[in-house]
Amino acid sequence: MHLDDSTYLARFDAAELGPEHFDHRGHLYMAWVHLARYDLEEANARVCTGVLRLATRFGVPGKFHHTISEALMRIVAQRLERGGRDDFDVFLAANPDLTENARGVLARHYSDERLNSPEARAGWLAPDREPIQ
């Protein structure tokens, strides 16, 4: 089911999205649509809070990983500076590594030890490899 951006945001904020909107592509869309409307700080706060709320609603709050969510938000924001703000599919086509190998993208910035730590799951940890600009 496709939702327009405004409906998607309203349903996300109300924790009314279904699991079909909660896959990896859905997470990237969450980042993209929020960054189209809010600065990085506010978009990040809204997405992290909303994803945790949805994960809790789906009965899997332990799946929420704060550092992964925030790191991907920051990477999407960085890449949006290069273009793709007007169309999500154009953005994805220009950044295939985000859909095909997001773990590889994160590995450029984080060691497995840091990213898999309990601290990274619970809150934001800055990269221990390449910084996210």
25-64 tens-digit pLDDT: 989 999 999 999 999 999 999 999 999 999 999 999 999 9
Q: Residue 96, class by beta-carbon neighbours within 10 Å (0-12 exposed, 13-18 middle, 19+ buried)?
A: exposed
Q: What's the whole-model pTM score?
A: 0.93
Give the end-to-end CA distance of the chain in Å, rounded to a whole number. Answer: 34
85-111 tens-digit pLDDT: 899 999 999 999 999 999 999 999 999
Confidence class for position 123, pLDDT limits 50, 70, 90: very high
What is the rounded distance in angstroms from the CA atom of residue 105 to the CA atom of residue 127?
12
Return the closest-CA partner of residue 35 out of 2, 100, 84, 68: 84
